[in-house]
A and B are shown apart, each in its own frame.
Chain A
Amino acid sequence: MLRFVIRRLALAVFVVFAISIITFTLSHVAVDPAAGVAGDSATDDDLAAVRAQYGFDRPLIVQYAAYIANVAQGDLGRSYLSGQPVTTLLAERIPATALLASLSILFALGLALPLGVLAALRPNSTLDRCALTLAVVGQAIPNFWAGLLLILLFGVKLGWLPISGSSTLAHFVLPAITLGSFAMPALMRLIRAGMIDVLETDYIRTANAMGLARRTVLFKYALRNAILPVISLTAVQFGFMLGGSIIVESVFAIQGIGYLAWQSMSRSDMPVIQAIVLFISLVYIVLTLLADLLNAALDPRIRGAA
Chain B
Amino acid sequence: MTALRHGGFMIGGTVLLLLILVAVFAPLLAPHDPYLQSLTTRTKPPFWHEGALPGHPLGTDQLGRDYLSRLIYGTRISLAVGFGAVLISGAIGISLGVMAGYFGGWTDTCINAVITTRLSLPVVLVALAIVAVVGGSLTVVLLVIGLLLWDQFAVVARTATQQLRNAEYVAAARAMGAGRWHIMVREILPNIRAPLIVVATVEMANAVLIEAALSFLGLGVQAPLPSWGLMLSEGKNFMFFSPWIITLPGLCLFALALSINLLGDGLRDVQGSRR
Residues of A within 8 A of B (CB): 11, 14-15, 18-19, 22, 26, 30-31, 136-137, 139-145, 148-149, 151-152, 156, 239-240, 242-244, 246-247, 250, 261-262, 265-266, 268, 270, 273-274, 276-277, 280-281, 284-285, 288
Contacts and interface: CB of A to CB of B under 8 A. Distances in A.
Given A144-B213, A152-B239, A273 B250 contact: no
Given A15-B117, A136-B258, A136-B262, A277 B213 contact: no
Interface string B102-139: 00000000001110110111111110111011100000
Interface centre among B124, B130, B229 (most CB of A within 10 A): B124
Interface string B139-160: 0000000000000000000000
A145 B232 contact: yes
Contacts, number: 130
A19 B254 contact: no
Given A145-B254, A246-B128, A288-B119, 14 more contacts: A14-B113, A26-B130, A26-B133, A139-B205, A142-B209, A142-B212, A142-B229, A149-B246, A243-B123, A246-B124, A247-B213, A247-B217, A281-B122, A284-B119
A143 B213 CA distance: 9
B246 A265 contact: no
Chain B interface size band reads 35 or more
Binding site secondary structure of chain B: helix
Contacts of A262: 128, 217
A140 B239 CA distance: 22
B27 interface: no
B7 to A, nearest CB: 11
A139 B134 CA distance: 30
Nearest to B218: A266
A265 B132 CA distance: 6
B219 interface: yes
Contact of A243 (B122, B212, B217): B122
A165 to B, nearest CB: 16
Contacts of B133: 26, 30-31, 268, 270
Nearest to B264: A136
Contacts of B250: 142, 145, 148-149
B232 A148 contact: yes
Contacts of B126: 22, 277
Contacts of A243: 122-125
A18 B122 contact: no
A239 B124 CA distance: 12
